[in-house]
């Protein structure tokens, strides 16, 4: 959690649109790091509820706060 808070601050300071993909590629624990954090298209019921609730609440180019799921902690970046 503490490490993710540090990344969250860096991403906000550097600009979400450029920093999120950079740090996702550098540090993500899931396979999305290969695509700079891009999970591709998904619909309701495809992800854990807390994750999808946060993802579907985002506006394009908006980043969530830290989201906790059974898989760990996440920052989610909404794209159009």
Rounded to 5 degrees, what are φ and ψ at 68? Answer: -100, 130
Question: Which pTM value belongs to this model?
Answer: 0.90
CATH of 2-74, one of 3.60.150.10, 3.10.50.40, 3.60.10.10, 3.10.290.10: 3.10.50.40
* Per-residue pLDDT, 80: 67
* Per-residue pLDDT, 30: 86
For residues 2-12, give the mean pLDDT.
Answer: 97
Render pLDDT for 32-79 as a digit per residue (tens, 0 to 9).
Answer: 889 999 998 999 999 999 999 999 999 999 999 999 999 999 999 998
- Contact 77/71 with Cβ under 8 angstroms? no
- Contact 80/60 with Cβ under 8 angstroms? yes
For residues 17-40, give the mean pLDDT.
Answer: 92
């Amino acid at each position: 959690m503490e490490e993710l808070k540090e990344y969250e601050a860096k991403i906000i300071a550097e600009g979400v649109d450029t920093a999120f993909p950079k740090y996702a590629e550098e540090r993500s624990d899931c396979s999305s790091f290969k695509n700079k954090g891009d999970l591709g298209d998904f619909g309701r019921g495809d992800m854990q509820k807390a994750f999808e609730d946060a993802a579907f609440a985002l506006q394009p180019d908006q980043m969530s706060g830290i989201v906790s799921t059974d898989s760990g902690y996440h920052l989610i970046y909404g794209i159009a």
